[in-house]
């Protein structure tokens, strides 16, 4: 059985008298342990789908079953608890708290778990070591390069050992060298830790690192050639 099952998944917003539908009746299965890239033009529904899978947003209709549970039927508190166990989110612009050190930023998700201080320290130290920043634990975001900030954000995403990592343009704000380094790290997390990784990107080189690339346009899955024709 797939880890993630989307059935007739639709998200609709009202803008004045008009209905905006960034995702429309989408059916999609994602196997556990898959590294999947989502591509498509701006407004195609990529980030909407990512946020629905992460439990940050709710669909207007349809079902979203993850590990046998339909998360669209969960209460807000149950969904928050589920998200803390299942989801690690990597943002394009890092979303680090500027007044907290790298260590403290990575520790934040663990405050939602019943762990003592020693247990939290062990997990944070391991996550920072995995991303190669053990020696930067006491640095604030302003003291780090963009690539290092994104590595802290990745450490924060994996520190609670989630089943699924979602990444929204994780290299979009980085130079080529830093982007390659971050993608090397994500590749290791997928291969060595067997994480299910779902990544939104506009960059074909970044998408090529994934096992599979799916293309969206106007809220639906399409062939890559259809996307190129739309852009042209």
The per-residue pLDDT for 224 is 55
Whole-angstrom Cα distance, residue 38 to residue 44?
Answer: 10
- 4-231 maps to which CATH number? 3.40.50.300
pTM exceeds 0.85 for this model: yes
Whole-angstrom Cα distance, residue 58 to residue 200?
Answer: 18
DSSP string, 28-61: EEE-TT-EEEEE-STTSSHHHHHHHHTTSS--SE
Answer whether 53's CB lies under 8 Å from 47's CB. Answer: no
Q: Of 219, 183, 193, whose CA–CA distance to 38 is shortest? A: 219
Whole-angstrom Cα distance, residue 130 to residue 13?
Answer: 40
Whole-angstrom Cα distance, residue 20 to residue 151?
Answer: 35
Instruction: Express each pLDDT in 105-117 by its tens digit.
Output: 999 999 989 999 9
Instruction: Express each pLDDT in 120-161 by its tens digit.
Output: 999 999 999 999 999 999 999 999 999 999 999 999 999 999
Per-residue pLDDT band at 232 (split at 50, 70, 90): very low
Q: Of 155, 108, 166, 105, whose CA–CA distance to 130 is shortest? A: 155
Tell me the C-alpha to C-alpha distance, in Å, between residue 125 and each of 154, 161, 189, 231.
Answer: 13, 13, 16, 45
The per-residue pLDDT for 85 is 92
Residue linked to tokens 């450490």: 155
Residue linked to tokens 């990745």: 154
> What's the chain's Rg over C-alpha atoms?
18
């Amino acid at each position: 059985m797939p880890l993630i099952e989307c059935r007739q998944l639709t998200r609709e917003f009202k803008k004045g008298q008009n209905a905006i539908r960034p995702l429309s009746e989408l059916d999609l299965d994602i196997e556990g342990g898959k590294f999947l890239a989502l591509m498509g033009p701006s407004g195609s529904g990529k980030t909407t789908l990512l946020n629905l899978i992460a439990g940050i947003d709710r669909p207007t209709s349809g079902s979203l079953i993850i590990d046998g549970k339909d998360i669209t039927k969960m209460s807000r508190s149950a969904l928050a608890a589920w998200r803390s166990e299942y989801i690690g989110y990597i943002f394009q612009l890092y979303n680090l708290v500027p007044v907290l050190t790298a260590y403290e930023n990575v520790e934040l998700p663990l405050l939602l778990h019943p762990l003592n201080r020693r247990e939290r320290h062990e997990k944070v130290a391991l996550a920072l070591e995995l991303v190669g920043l053990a020696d930067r634990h006491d640095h604030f975001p302003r003291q780090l390069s963009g690539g290092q900030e994104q590595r802290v954000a990745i450490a924060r995403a994996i520190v609670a050992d989630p089943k699924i990592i979602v990444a929204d343009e994780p290299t979009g704000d980085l130079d080529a060298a830093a982007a390659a380094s971050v993608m090397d790290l994500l590749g290791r997390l997928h291969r060595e830790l067997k994480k299910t990784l779902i990544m939104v990107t506009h960059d074909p080189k970044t998408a090529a690192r994934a096992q599979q690339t799916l293309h969206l346009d106007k809220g639906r899955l399409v062939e890559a050639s259809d996307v190129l024709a739309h852009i042209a």
